[in-house]
Amino acid sequence: MNDKALVRHLSACETMGSASCICTDKTGTLTTNHMVVNKIWICEKSLDVKGNESKEILSSEISGASSILLQVIFQNTSSEVIKEDGKTSILGTPTESALLEFGLLLGGDFDAVRREVNILKVEPFNSVRKKMSVLVAHPHGGKRAFCKGASEIVLGMCNKFIDFNGESVILSREQVKNITDVINSFASEALRTLCLAFKNIDDSSIENDIPDDGYTLIAVVGIKDPVRPGVKDAVQTCLAAGITVRMVTGDNINTAKAIAKECGILTEDGLAIEGQEFRNMSPEQKKAVIPRIQVMARSLPLDKHTLVKTLRDEFGEVVAVTGDGTNDAPALHEADIGLAMGIAGTEVAKESADVIILDDNFKTIVNVARWGRSVYINIQKFVQFQLTVNVVALIINFVSACVSGSAPLTAVQLLWVNMIMDTLGALALATEPPNDGLMKRPPVGRGTSFITKAMWRNIIGQSIYQLIVLGVLNFYGKQLLGLSGSDATEVLDTVIFNAFVFCQVFNEINSRDIEKINIFVGMFDSWVFLGVMVCTVAFQVS
C-alpha cells in the first residue's frame, strides 16, 4: 500500500473516518526525529553548535569542563558508537545519538572514555522518570554517578554547577533562575532541552544506590528536532475536516508550545498545560479545561489515558491516539482508533494499536482518515442505490400484481438485475477514489444515523420518479407505444424491464454523490466506474 499505513483491524479504517479528535505525539510524528545538538550552555556560556566549523571555538570555550562533559555523554548512555571499516556509526535512540554525535564532534573517543571505568549500575531512561542515570567506579578508587534527562527535573536535583573556570560551585537561587531562563530560551526555539549532571560518591558506602540529589550541573543542551515538512498542511486539513488536533508529549512545555505553534496546532485561544497540573485537577475542573487543551506537555502515559477516556466518555468524541512507547499501550487501547508508530514504536504499542503508521508521519494519519471517510461514504452510496432498486422492483411488481394479476418483472429478470447491479454496482461505487471534498466536512458523530436525510431524499425521489416511469409504461404502455396483437404484453414487459435497468444505470450515476447536484464531477477520473457503466449497458443491450 503506498499510503504507508498497515491496518490491523479493518473496521478501524472506517472508525478513523469518523474521528473527531486526534491526540498526537510530538517526537517523530510531528517532527522528523533526526536530532542534532544545536545549542549548549556550559561554563556559564550559551554556545551555538554548528557542525565542524564550531569545533575549535567549542573546544577552547569549554576546556575546563570538557573531560567531565565527555564522561557524562559517553558513560551515561544506552547507545553505542560502532567503528567498522574505518567508518563510525551510532546505534541508539535519536536523543542519545545526538549527544554521542556531539561528543564525537568535540573529539571524544567513545571506547577510551568507556574503558576508564566500570559501570556498576544503570537506571535506563523511561517516560515516567524522564531521566537516565548510571553509577560508575574508577579502577583506582572513587565512584561517580551521572544523570541526564528532562531539564527542569535534573536541575531540581542539583545543588552545584560548573562555573566559567571549570570549578564546581554552589548553585544559588539566582543561578537557578538564570539557568531556568536559559532552558526556556532554548525551549522557545523549539529545542528539546536536557540537563547533564554528575555527583562524586564516597568510596566507603558499600551500597550501589544511585542518589537522587546533590548533583553538580555540567551542561544544558538544546537538541534540534525539526518539524516534518507537510505537517502544517496536514493539521490544516484536519481542522477543515472538523477534527481537533491535540499534542500530548513528554517534552518541556516551552518546546512543546514552540513546535505546536509551528505546526498550527496551538492557536491564540488554545491552552497549553503541563501534565502535572492536569493530574491534580478535580474531574469537574478537567471537564472544564479539556475542550480548550491543545498541548499537554511533560505528560505521563497515565495523563494521556485520562485525557482520552474523558474525551470519549464525557464529550462523546471519537478519539484517535498515536503512541510509540510501551506505556502508551493503555491509551492506545482506550482510544477508538489506536495508531502505533512503525519505526519508533515498541512491539507492545503495535500490539495494542488498530493501525500501524509505517513511516511515523502525521500526514499518513490524515490519509487514513481520508480513506476511512471514503469507505463510509461509498458504503452509504451503495446502500442508497440498492435500497432504491429494491423498493422500486418490489412496489411495481406488487402493485401490478394486485391490479392486473401479473407481475411485469419476472423472477429471472429480477435475478439478472440483482446480479449486474449488485456486483457491478458495488464495484463501481466502492472503487470511487477518495476526493478532497471528504476532508472539508465535519466528521460523522457517534450515534448519527447511517442513512442521512439527504439519502432518504434521494431514495424517495428516485423511487417516485422510477415508479412513475414504470407505472405509466405498465398501465398505459400499450396505448402509448401503439402495441397490439398477441405478443403485446410480452413486448411491453420487455420494454418495462429495459426501462427499469436503464433507470438503474441513471440511478447509479446519481448515487455517486449523495449531497451535490452535479454528480458528474470527477466521474471520468474513475475508470472502473465508467467501465462498469459501459459493461452494464452492453450486457443489457445484447
Q: Which residues contact ligand ATP by CB under 6 A?
A: 25-27, 93, 95-96, 125, 127, 130-132, 148-150, 192, 194, 249-252
Nearest residue to 8 (alpha-carbon basis) of 298, 361, 494, 352: 352
Reading the block at residue 389, the C-alpha cell is: 432498486
The residue type found at 522 is G
Binding partner of residue 370 among ligand ATP, Ca ion, none, CB under 5 to 8 Å per kind? none
Minimum distance from residue 527 beta carbon to ligand ATP (Å): 42
Question: For residues 16 and 99, which CB has a smaller minimum distance to ligand ATP in the complex?
Answer: 99
Reading the block at residue 185, the C-alpha cell is: 530560551
Separation between Cα atoms, residue 164 and residue 62, nearest integer Å: 8
Separation between Cα atoms, residue 465 and residue 426, nearest integer Å: 22
Binding partner of residue 258 among ligand ATP, Ca ion, none, CB under 5 to 8 Å per kind? none
Instruction: Assign residue 141 a region (left: φ > 0; alpha: ψ between -120 and 50; beta: otherwise).
Output: left
Instruction: Assign residue 242 a region (left: φ > 0; alpha: ψ between -120 and 50; beta: otherwise).
Output: left
Minimum distance from residue 303 beta carbon to Ca ion (Å): 12
Binding partner of residue 317 among Ca ion, ligand ATP, none, CB under 5 to 8 Å per kind? none
Supply the DSSP string of 77-141, one letter for each residue. Answer: -S-EEEEETTEEEEES-HHHHHHHHHHHHTT--HHHHHHTSEEEEEE---TTT-EEEEEEE-TTS
Separation between Cα atoms, residue 175 and residue 199, nearest integer Å: 19
* Per-residue DSSP letter, 487: T
Question: For residues 197 and 424, which CB has a smaller minimum distance to ligand ATP in the complex?
Answer: 197
Question: For residues 147 and 444, which CB has a smaller minimum distance to ligand ATP in the complex?
Answer: 147
Q: For ligand ATP, which residue has the nearest CB?
A: 250
Question: Using CB under 5 A, which of the segments 22-30, 47-55, 159-167, 375-383 binds Ca ion?
Answer: 22-30
25, 328, 493, 513: the active-site residue: 25
Question: For residues 132 and 470, which CB has a smaller minimum distance to ligand ATP in the complex?
Answer: 132
Residues 192/152, Cβ–Cβ less than 8 Å: no
Helices (H), 405-487: 411-419, 425-430, 453-481
Continuous segment of H or E residues that includes residue 147: strand 143-150
Minimum distance from residue 159 beta carbon to ligand ATP (Å): 20
Question: For residues 217 and 492, which CB has a smaller minimum distance to ligand ATP in the complex?
Answer: 217
Cα dist from 235 to 22, 75, 363, 374, 439, whole Å: 10, 40, 8, 19, 11
Return the half-sphere exposure (C-beta side, CA atoms, 13 A cut-off) of residue 530: 8
Question: For residues 93 and 390, which CB has a smaller minimum distance to ligand ATP in the complex?
Answer: 93
CA–centroid distance for 332 within its chain: 11
Minimum distance from residue 28 beta carbon to ligand ATP (Å): 6
Binding partner of residue 149 among Ca ion, ligand ATP, none, CB under 5 to 8 Å per kind? ligand ATP
Question: For residues 31 and 536, which CB has a smaller minimum distance to ligand ATP in the complex?
Answer: 31
Reading the block at residue 178, the C-alpha cell is: 538564570
Question: For residues 125 and 500, which CB has a smaller minimum distance to ligand ATP in the complex?
Answer: 125
Minimum distance from residue 258 beta carbon to ligand ATP (Å): 13
Minimum distance from residue 299 beta carbon to ligand ATP (Å): 7
Question: Using CB under 5 A, which of the segments 5-13, 24-32, 136-144, 281-289 binds Ca ion?
Answer: 24-32
Binding partner of residue 132 among Ca ion, ligand ATP, none, CB under 5 to 8 Å per kind? ligand ATP
Residues 18/444, Cβ–Cβ less than 8 Å: yes
Binding partner of residue 148 among Ca ion, ligand ATP, none, CB under 5 to 8 Å per kind? ligand ATP
Nearest residue to 166 (alpha-carbon basis) of 213, 218, 214: 218
Binding partner of residue 501 among Ca ion, ligand ATP, none, CB under 5 to 8 Å per kind? none
Residues 336/319, Cβ–Cβ less than 8 Å: yes
Binding partner of residue 192 among ligand ATP, Ca ion, none, CB under 5 to 8 Å per kind? ligand ATP
In the annotation, is 25 catalytic? Answer: yes
* Per-residue DSSP letter, 445: P
Reading the block at residue 152, the C-alpha cell is: 527542569
Question: Using CB under 5 A, which of the segments 18-26, 76-84, 183-191, 232-240 binds Ca ion?
Answer: 18-26
Minimum distance from residue 243 beta carbon to Ca ion (Å): 21
Question: Using CB under 5 A, which of the segments 23-31, 102-110, 343-351, 401-409 binds Ca ion?
Answer: 23-31
25 binds Ca ion (CB under 5 A): yes
Q: For Ca ion, which residue has the nearest CB?
A: 25
Q: Using CB under 5 A as the criterion, which residues of the chain lie in contact with Ca ion when the complex forms?
A: 25
- By annotation, the residues acting in catalysis are 25
